[in-house]
Amino acid sequence: MKVENIYKQKYVLTTNYYDPSNNIGVQGTLDLFQNIAARHAYLLGAGREHLEKINLVWVIARTEIEYVTYPETPLEVEVVTWPRPATRFYFDRYYKIVNSATNEIIAYSRSRWVLIDIDSRKIVGADRYDYPLDFYYEEEPFNHTFPRPSVSDNVVGNYTVRPSDIDENGHLNNSKYGNIIYDYLDLQKGQKIKSIVINYNNEALQGETLTISRSRDDAKVVISGHKGDTIVFSSEVNIQ
């Protein structure tokens, strides 16, 4: 099988991909990206079953999404993904969602992944694994480095991790953070998410309770989750 440096797949966005305002939701967006990233990784020989043979597993470190248009439901879209060359520890992957009917861009995104040794649970360098690609697709939708969200100390609630939140790595699935963040955004009628950055700092396990903090400065909302003194995630959302 020919190894491709870019992968595309069609999806029909049903109502479960949308938020109550009928905009594509953060969790729905993250679900799309998680699905297509896993599929492309498998085709590249970098899927879970491949990496487990060399005692490694993928873990997401951060993600950024910029929404461009806000189509109505239902809708067929094409989701596109491509990896970039690894640095010493980081594997960046890019995405875009395209309206199949109009060819308009709905969203751009990127995620940063690291490889974890299954036994030590520590990050390992890219010298342990690299994609089997001779050259990489070069589209670069972002002209800035990954933002680093600040951390709020204004406590607004709690979230207990449920069994349905857990992924195959045994911790809170990265897409589930989308709904946690959305629940504490307090969006007003007509407001939409323009962009979001999420840093995944530490894992959260089933039954653990996260303390949720939030602060707002005009159109920017900072939401973070802690367990004790440990930061689990931090996020920054820009609203329009």
- In this predicted structure, the answer to whether residue 1 has a pLDDT above a threshold of 80 is no
- Residue 157 burial (CB count, 10 A): 13
29-66 b/e (C-beta count within 10 Å ≥ 16 → b) = bbbbbbebbeebbeebebeeeebeeeebebbbbbbbbb
Domains 7-128 and 155-239 share a fold: yes
Q: Domain ranges for the chain, please list them.
A: 7-128, 155-239
The helix, strand and coil proportions of the chain, stated in percent and rounded to the nearest 5, come to 15, 40, 45
pLDDT, averaged across the chain: 93
What percentage of the chain has pLDDT greater than the value 70?
99
DSSP annotation of 18 reads B
Give pLDDT tens digits for 72-122. Answer: 777 899 999 999 999 999 999 999 999 999 999 999 999 999 999 999 989
What is the reported pTM? 0.93
What percentage of the chain has pLDDT greater than the value 90?
76
Q: Does domain 7-128 have CATH number 3.10.129.10?
A: yes
Q: Considering the domain 155-239, what is its CATH architecture?
A: Roll (3.10)
Supply the pLDDT for residue 2.
67
- The first and second tokens of residue 135, run together, are 């050259």
Supply the pLDDT for residue 72.
76
